[in-house]
Amino acid sequence: MTAKRQGFQTVVERCENCDRETSHTVTVEIRTESKKKENAEFSREPYRIATCQTCDEMTSQRMNNA
């Protein structure tokens, strides 16, 4: 995936909903994947969250696909 920096918190990348290149706000979020309370501390994974500034479509991608 190629992204170009446009500003401090935005990147330009393809939005599937808009069907064109648009500005996106990108953040990283730590999510707990286990539903079991005793394993929750061992099941946290980073996700890349991108939100289109044109249509507000949000996509998430797991960063550690093991």
Q: Quick one: pLDDT band at residue 41, thresholds 50, 70, 90? A: confident
Does residue 25 register a pLDDT over 70? Answer: yes
**Average pLDDT of span 49-62:** 95
Does residue 10 register a pLDDT over 70? Answer: yes
How confident is the model at residue 49, as a pLDDT?
93
Residues 6+ apart with CB under 8 A from 49: 26, 27, 28, 29, 58, 59, 60
Torsion of CA 35, 36, 37, 38, to 10 degrees: -140
How confident is the model at residue 5, as a pLDDT?
52
**Average pLDDT of span 51-56:** 96
**Average pLDDT of span 6-25:** 86
